Amino acid sequence: MSDAATYDVAIVGYGPVGATAANLLGQMGLNVVVIERDPDIYFRARAISTDEEVVRIWQQVGLSDQLNADMQPGGGANFVDAAGISIAKLLPADRGNGHPPQQFIYQPAVDRVLRAGVDRFPNVSLLLEHECLRLSQHTDSVELMLADLTCDQFKRIRATYVIAADGGSSAIRGQLGVGFTGRTYSQRWIVIDTKVIEEWPGHDDLRFHCNPARPTVDCPTPLGHHRWEFPVRDQEDEKDLLNEDAIWNVLAGQGITKANVAIIGFACYNHHVRFADRWRIGRVFLAGDAAHAMPPWIGQGMCAGVRDVANLCWKLHAVTSGSLADSVLDTYQAERLPHVKEVTNRAVKVGELIIERNRIRSAVRNRFFRFATKVPGFTTWLRNHRWLPDARYRSGLLARNGNPAAGWLIPQPWVIDETGGLCRFDDIIGGRWMVLYTSVERPWPQWRSAGVRALRIAPSGSTPGIDRIVDHDGALTAWLDKKKATVVAVRPDGFVYAAGTDEQPIPPPPAGFTTPAIRVKDHA
């Protein structure tokens, strides 16, 4: 038994969620250890899509350009009938985050980039092929008992906090006795991953085949891959479908032959709708699939987990640096859970449209949507109420004074910096508290005494300068006008903590707040 090494944060699980957390905390300068059972990246793709907000999070650690290069921008979701004729098509909406609104990913490629990003930080240690057998919490730390799976050896480590990103079957959640309430759907689904040999018409479209005889998801993935998913029928035995002959029979129904693709792998799984009863258990935090599980219909499982750690990591940094009290960590679940529940609810409703098995109800559905999509505004309403909800917190670490901007994720337009260069907004303010204003500068003494920088957003055509950037296309100024705010205090994760106008003073910082010492590591 080795002596216990000590860390600020231990991350259990090294999938996209754990790797994102390691990049964020590594860049913040914390002493981090990552614990992972497997020796290398999992070979099968699981997540298949991401969105602009998640890529914006990866931008914060300098990886968005690399990741974007391996992604495939999506052209929306096409719902088609049994004959392949469109019922409705939902086009992705640009929410102003500076990246394509929908992109398909090949998860092993994403994992490689995220892990290479972690390698930049000497303050992040990796314990691959290690398993967390037990953890025990103390007044000021958590002790983790680890098994080294490469040899018959055990070790102890200590961490001030632990992030459990160890998946839907989270061993840590089980050790802590946290309930995982909800439901698991009885119907099993087969997922097929392939390598494209010869492209076919529509190979780069996401199609939901709303066929009552065999609902099927037909999804492109980048770097020459493609995926299909379909349910096991009531009269079928999944064992009979988990072989290449059966898989080729299903693909043949989609018009796909061995000339088009080579099968990489296939598996069978269930859909889940579950939420952990608690996401914070003392000094341990559940994130990603360990905290929640949702059906895959709108491609938000991985994305929700990345959003979790983007919310959590800056708060861990603030607490460990003494910038905020430990109680701020209680806002993690309060902020994230409502958004995750809404995303899950929308995924369930989209799935119900796709997997309708009754032929009469299917025919009615098809007629209704073909008629309704001709009505002006219906497709926009459908997208806004059935696809990704707004990035907004209604409770948590927010200062309410009646201004509607509080709680919203601020957009990321292109701006002109003080040198006259064009850059993304977050590359100037990302990862820090900031007061932004569009009208007359005020003293804001409480914010200034706390060490928070004030930055003016000047209108398009203005001259940039020190503490003044230019809103290149007017998008940020228009957003603030719409939210009836001339000044906002933005948190390190880009959400508006407080807002005001010339007549409505901006609320002060959180009680006891000071800006943390600059420990951010260069990710060049």
Taking residues 94-111, what's their average pLDDT? 94
**Is residue 339 scored above 90 in pLDDT?**
yes
> What's the whole-number mean pLDDT along residues 177-206?
94
Give tens-digit pLDDT for 410-465.
Answer: 999 999 999 999 999 999 987 899 999 998 888 899 999 999 999 999 999 999 99
Element at 18 (helix H, strand E): helix 16-28
Strand order in the sheet with 72-73: 49-51, 102-104, 72-73
Q: What is the pLDDT of residues 277-323, one digit of tens each?
A: 999 999 999 999 999 999 999 999 999 999 999 999 999 999 999 99
Q: What distance, in Å, lies between the first and last C-alpha atoms of the chain?
A: 38
56 vs 306: CA distance, rounded Å = 11
Q: How confident is the model at residue 512 (pLDDT cuts 50, 70, 90)?
A: confident
Q: Contact at 8 Å (CB) between 26 and 120?
A: yes
> What's the whole-model pTM score?
0.95
- Kind and range of the H or E run holding 267: strand 261-276
Domains, the chain: 2-70+97-181+273-336 (3.50.50.60), 414-500 (3.40.30.10)
- Provide the 8-state DSSP code for 346: H
**Statement: residue 3 has pLDDT above 70:** no
Q: What is the mean pLDDT of residues 372-376?
A: 94
Tokens representing 344?
A: 């899950």
Q: Phi first, then psi: what are they for 98, rounded to 5°?
A: 85, 10
Alpha-carbon span 355 to 477, nearest angstrom: 43
Asked if pLDDT for residue 267 goes beyond 50, the answer is yes
Q: Are 90 and 353 in contact (CB under 8 A)?
A: no
Indicate the burial class of 421 (C-beta count within 10 angstroms; 0-12, 13-18, 19 or more). Answer: exposed
Angle at 163 between CA 337 and CA 268, to 5 degrees: 70
Instruction: Tell me what pLDDT residue 483 has.
Output: 96
Confidence tier at 524 by pLDDT (50, 70, 90): very low
Residue pair 475/96 in contact by the 8 Å Cβ criterion: yes
**Residue 384 has what pLDDT?**
85
Longest dimension (CA), the chain: 73
